[in-house]
Structure 1
Amino acid sequence: MNRRITGSLFVSLDGVIQAPGGPSEDPSGGFAEGGWVFKLWDEGVNRTLGELFGGEYDLLLGRRTYDISAAYWPYVEGPEAGMGEAFTKANKYVLTHGGADLGWDNSHALSGFDDIAALKQTEGPDLIVQGSSTLYPELIAKGLIDRLTLLTYPVVLGSGKRWFGADTKVGTLKLTDHYVTDQGTVVTTYEPGGALPPYPA
């Protein structure tokens, strides 16, 4: 059986996904709202992440997200230590064009999207993409995403990195699940829906 790829994103109402986890996570471009998801965190978000990371999985990451994660999760203490141990134990497949060492345990370099397609054909747990905005447009365009979960927060951030680029191809997604958390975060899960139908005659 092929591995499935599940994407998961924290996103604002205006499409921003930059630095959801902390003020210093990614201040590039002068982004000053790092850590914005924790200002509206609630049990519904905890439940979503618990379901996402509750089983066996490997991680699929872009290089920038990998570097941010590798600088944090192996060293985290306190309530998040268990998640840090789980991320360290998981295989981490990193799309990277650089030659720098991947020093985090169980990390493996991929050179392109053909490598990701080949990885899906191997034996192993499903793959989770967390963050890594540069991966999504191409993964979707190449039909490599099997499921996409968006946690859309009731906040407008104005500026920052967005998860779809200008070159994203036209297509549809099929809604398979949805609910709203107590703080108003809308959790939606989609699967590929095929081409956009023609305009009604």
Structure 2
Amino acid sequence: MRTLIVTEFMTLDGIVDSPGGGDHPRAGWTFTEVPFVEEAYEIKGREQAEAGAMLMGRVTYDEFAPVWPGMTEEFAGYNAMPKYVVSSTLTDPEWHDTTVLRSLDEVAELKRGEGAPIIVHASATLAKGLAAAGLVDRYHLLVFPVVLGEGKRLFDGHEQGSLKLVEHEAYANGVVKNVFDVVR
């Protein structure tokens, strides 16, 4: 069985909305409000090297698909690997090697297969659904010393269960890496 990893940039108050750009009034907060410290992003390179597939929701696909294929140096691994989009409306994905999944049951089937981990980028709504269905095995959270007060949250207070901290590190810019395994 494959490991399903949700990876997020998160504010101190739990917001995952628009970290690099988007609709939030303070969109891009990871770049505009916290100094860049290269080592804080080490986990992002590791994720790309270790993942065997990328899973995303429709909104994330719509944001990534026009940009990531042209970033051949930064995202060569992601561009080469199979990509899956959970969507009831997407019919003809243009990003190379992208398959549309219509339900979480199809995600569960994908997860039951053999292979390297499946990485879930952004996609807060999808991540909540995956968690509720018991499909998430691990969380990679880069927590930024920013408070937004409102926006999309990864956890909204209805979750149940425990997480085990398996890796953590704090960086000079105040970002904290937290890697949690889901306890079953």
TM-score, scaled relative to structure 1: 0.84
Computing the radius of gyration over CA atoms, which structure comes out larger, 1 or 2? Answer: 1
Structure 1 position 190 matched with structure 2 position 180: yes
Structure 1 position 21 matched with structure 2 position 16: no
Other-structure match for 1:117:
108
Other-structure match for 2:61:
66
Other-structure match for 2:169:
179
CA distance in 2, matches of 1:193, 1:124: 21
CA distance in 2, matches of 1:100, 1:139: 22
How many residues are paired up? 182
Other-structure match for 2:7:
8
Task: For residue 99 of structure 1, report the CA deviation from its aligned partner.
Answer: 4.0
**Secondary structure in structure 1 of the residue aligned to 2:120:** strand
**Secondary structure in structure 2 of the residue aligned to 1:48:** helix
Q: Deviations along 1:49-91, whole A, 9 cap, x unmatched? A: 1222223421010111011000211124xxxx31233322111
Task: For residue 184 of structure 1, report the CA deviation from its aligned partner.
Answer: 0.9
**Secondary structure in structure 1 of the residue aligned to 2:25:** coil
Structure 1 position 37 matched with structure 2 position 30: yes
Tell me the percent identity.
35
- Structure 2 alignment gaps of length 5 or more: none
Q: Does structure 1 conserve the Cα–Cα contact (< 8 Å) formed by 2:55 and 2:85?
A: yes
CA distance in 2, matches of 1:122, 1:48: 25
Structure 1 position 82 matched with structure 2 position 73: yes
Task: For residue 159 of structure 1, report the CA deviation from its aligned partner.
Answer: 2.2
TM-score, scaled relative to structure 2: 0.91
**Secondary structure in structure 2 of the residue aligned to 1:128:** strand
**Secondary structure in structure 1 of the residue aligned to 2:73:** helix
* Runs of 4+ off more than 6 Å: none
Task: For residue 161 of structure 1, report the CA deviation from its aligned partner.
Answer: 1.5
Other-structure match for 2:50:
55
CA distance in 2, matches of 1:65, 1:106: 16
Give the letter aligned to residue 171 of structure 1. G
Give the letter aligned to residue 54 of structure 2. L
**Secondary structure in structure 2 of the residue aligned to 1:182:** coil
1:126-141 alignment to 2 at 5 Å? 126-141=117-132
Other-structure match for 1:101:
92
CA RMSD of aligned residues (A): 1.6
Structure 1 position 157 matched with structure 2 position 128: no
Q: Does structure 1 conserve the Cα–Cα contact (< 8 Å) formed by 2:51 and 2:119?
A: no
Q: Does structure 2 conserve the Cα–Cα contact (< 8 Å) formed by 1:147 and 1:191?
A: yes
CA distance in 2, matches of 1:53, 1:158: 31
